[in-house]
Amino acid sequence: MTKTILITGASSGIGAGMAREFAKKGYNLAICARRLERLDALKQELETQFGIQVATKVLDVTNYDQVFEVFQAFKQELGHIDRVIVNAGIGDGRRIGKGHFDINRATVETNFISALAQCEAAIEIFRAQKTGHLVVISSMSAIRGMPKHLTAYGASKAGIAALAEGIRAEFLNTAIKVTTIFPGYIRTEINEGAKKLPFEVDEKTGSRLLALEIEKEPIKAYVPKWPWLPIGLAMKVLPLKLVNKLS
């Protein structure tokens, strides 16, 4: 039976990029995001090119009831969900104490509370199936506290990394697997206007490397592995003033 992957935030960026990579590998896809026209265009592209089945649905992950409804609807339509990639999120953020609480709150709510809803909905399906692979997209910014515009964003991504580890702890030695991915800097639509970042890769390269790592079902992975694996290990022990230089 062909396996099915559900990807949130799949209308652009690494969400759409990963959808293309997994379509190449022959997976059926359940893709969701706020922009249905983009999802439908991607569906047509992938079904035509790879002969797979692609289901699309509108999802605003900040509508928590809708998260559960959409995940269950995909399950009913496709019969079985083998992997869920919790990818939807926002990269916004402002310096703390500068009058931007609303922006920082929205960042944390979208990247953490909405991710919690997606994990809850996914694990509910996996419990019923007694099998499944949950993938949570965190960030290298989650490794240590980060300054300025990354403070709230990094904290939200650290939160979902801890959430994923807690879920993993419950399902050790079972057929339900949990992977946490820590991407480095990947240039996508969400950050296309930002300055060039250290060791950044383009969207296509980043998506390909993400898919390769996710296929291995690791406990956690830094992507791209070089140089982010050694940097990630170093970030845990370096003085904060040196960690700041990566922001």
Q: For 84-94, what is each residue's pLDDT tens digit?
A: 999 999 988 99
Query: What phi and psi, each to the nearest 5 degrees, are found at residue 90?
Result: -130, 150
> Rounded distance, CA 172 to CA 155, Å?
26
The residues that are catalytic are 153
Give the per-residue pLDDT at 246. Answer: 80
Q: Does residue 105 carry a pLDDT above 80?
A: yes
Out of 48-52, 100-104, 159-163, 238-242, which region has the weakest mean confidence (pLDDT)? 238-242
3.30.1330.10, 3.40.50.1980, 3.40.50.720, 3.30.2130.10: CATH of 4-246: 3.40.50.720
What pTM did the predictor assign?
A: 0.96
**Bigger pLDDT: 196 vs 90:** 90
- Max distance between CA atoms of the chain, in angstroms, equals 53
**What DSSP character marks residue 126?**
H
pLDDT in tens, 4-49: 999 999 999 999 999 999 999 999 999 999 999 999 999 999 999 9
Q: Does residue 194 carry a pLDDT above 80?
A: no
How many residues are given for the chain? 247
- From residue 87, alpha-carbon distances to 50, 90, 129 in Å are 23, 10, 22
- The secondary structure of 51-114, three-state, reads CCCEEEEECCCCCHHHHHHHHHHHHHHHCCCCEEEECCCCCCCCCCCCCCHHHHHHHHHHHHHH
Residue 210 tokens read as 């993400």
Give the per-residue pLDDT at 74. Answer: 98
